[in-house]
A and B are shown apart, each in its own frame.
Chain A
Amino acid sequence: MALLEVNSLTACYGDFQALYGVSMSVDAGQAVAVIGANGAGKSTLLKAIVGMHPAEPDMIHFEGEAIGGMRPPKIVARGVTMVPEGRRLFSSLTVEENLRIGGQLGRRGPWSLQRIFELFPMLAERRSQRSMSLSGGQQQMVAIGRALMSNPRLLLCDEISLGLAPIVVRDIFQRLPTVVAEGTAVVVVEQDVMQALAASNYLYCLQEGRVLLKGESRNLDRAAIKAAYFGV
């Protein structure tokens, strides 16, 4: 049984339909990438999975349980969490407080404040700084650390490369295998196709709310990805 099963998920913003029956599945310990141009519905997909966008119960199953449309705290308590687009750290909390609040549900697992500081050593020395005084890359590390602190079985990352220098992006992506190795399945949503391919073993390409292409990352034909991405 797959860890996460998305079945014909539809989503609308008022009259605008963002997703037209998207299906995907993620196995435990897998790294899955979702790529697509702006407005393809990638963020909406992730939001629906964590309960931040409405869905019918049967559209999303986690560990066999229908979780579609549950409130986010309930879904996070079951072991799914998200690194939101744009990081969205709590500005009035320190770095350490941001991390600790991620762990306040008290789910058991490999991740602790200690382990986060081992994964991102530069955060340890900045632990009592205000989160907004950090550089963009460091803020992204806090956002990832905050999500990991809940010891999720499934971690969703929404555009973690957004607005960061390529060297910083590479640095952050290099840590993802460590996360997967701890048994956490990861879904990365990316516009950066090369980064997405390198970081995943399975890939979905969305276009205008539909899955146009899917397959094992290493077997996918570059030309086919290009066609699905740009719709040419």
Chain B
Amino acid sequence: MSFVNVIVQGVLLGGLYALFAAGLSLIFGVMRLVNIAHGDLIVVAAYFAYFTMQALGVGPFTSLIAVVPAIAVIGYILQRSLLNFALGEDLPPLLVTFGLSIIIQNVLLILFTHDNRKLYAGPIEMASWKFTPDLAVGVLPVIQFVVAVLIIGGLQLLFYRTTLGRAFRATSDDPAIAQLMGIENRHIFALAMALSLAVVAVAGVFIAVRTTFNPFYGPQLLIFGFEAVIMGGLGSLWGTLAGGILLGLAQALGGQINVGLPFTAGHVVFLLVLFVRPQGLFPKVSM
């Protein structure tokens, strides 16, 4: 496999990590909530897609029509009924979402067993464009990357061009004063969580087409999301995309050196970035 090929695969994979990260970054930005259950909610989206596909006999991408709104509604309810009460200090949201993570994993285990599952997308999984004898680019990774860029661009527009985005930014700046603008924080926080999980549902379906998943797959996805957010710099969506791409690249190159190395290589690059540029590549939020 050529060097160029590895780079291309890494970049394309990075789009997916950027989506995990964008969801995390969005809720941290709006309500300073670090969602430890983020990865598990990605896995919930994947299971949801799995059973939607079975029930309706559709492909994984068609299932998104049902999965995205359903997960968004779950996010809204979760925020209004539980997470809103944990906000305010640093520790309670961490503890509550950590607990939630464990509960989700075990409920999934009881319902669906430890079996590895995968979403099958059909022939498109194998399809690729062959540019040179050495360079073949999979159709699916390209679609996944384009979707990631479109979603991140869409979030950017939403944040800076719409009334809802303005309310998100104002609430992030000063939640108490935002209420004086007629903004109901509880509702805005719940909308942010719904949006975050809608993004995550798309990412969850893509990752479950790419690789197998089981009830305990969430924490690993959470780590990828965290690494991409922190490398990109908090509060910057395009930075998050850059962080995701860097992580994807590191993993792809690590995998070239040794088959067992991709994740370690990702972590090492993450630590290097943290060491050289602790504020991330494109920081926007001052902590």
Contact = CB atoms under 8 A, between A and B. Distances in A.
A93 B170 contact: yes
Interface stretch (A27-35, A71-79, A165-173): A71-79
Range for the number of chain A residues in contact with chain B: 20 to 34
B124 interface: no
A101 B167 contact: yes
Interface in A181-211: none
Interface string B88-119: 00000000000000000000000000000000
Interface residues of B, number: 17
A69 to B, nearest CB: 14
B182 A97 contact: no
B181 to A, nearest CB: 5
A102 B183 CA distance: 10
B172 A73 contact: no
The secondary-structure label for the interface of chain B is helix
Interface string B164-185: 0011011011101111111110
Given A71-B184, A92-B173, A101 B166 contact: yes
B182 A104 contact: yes
Interface of A: 50-52, 71-73, 76-77, 81-82, 84, 88, 90-93, 97, 100-102, 104-105, 146-147, 150
10 contacts: A52-B176, A52-B180, A72-B179, A72-B180, A73-B182, A73-B184, A81-B180, A88-B174, A92-B173, A93-B170
Given A92-B169, A101-B167, A105-B181, 15 more contacts: A76-B179, A76-B181, A77-B182, A84-B180, A88-B177, A90-B169, A90-B170, A92-B173, A97-B166, A101-B170, A101-B183, A104-B166, A104-B183, A146-B181, A150-B181
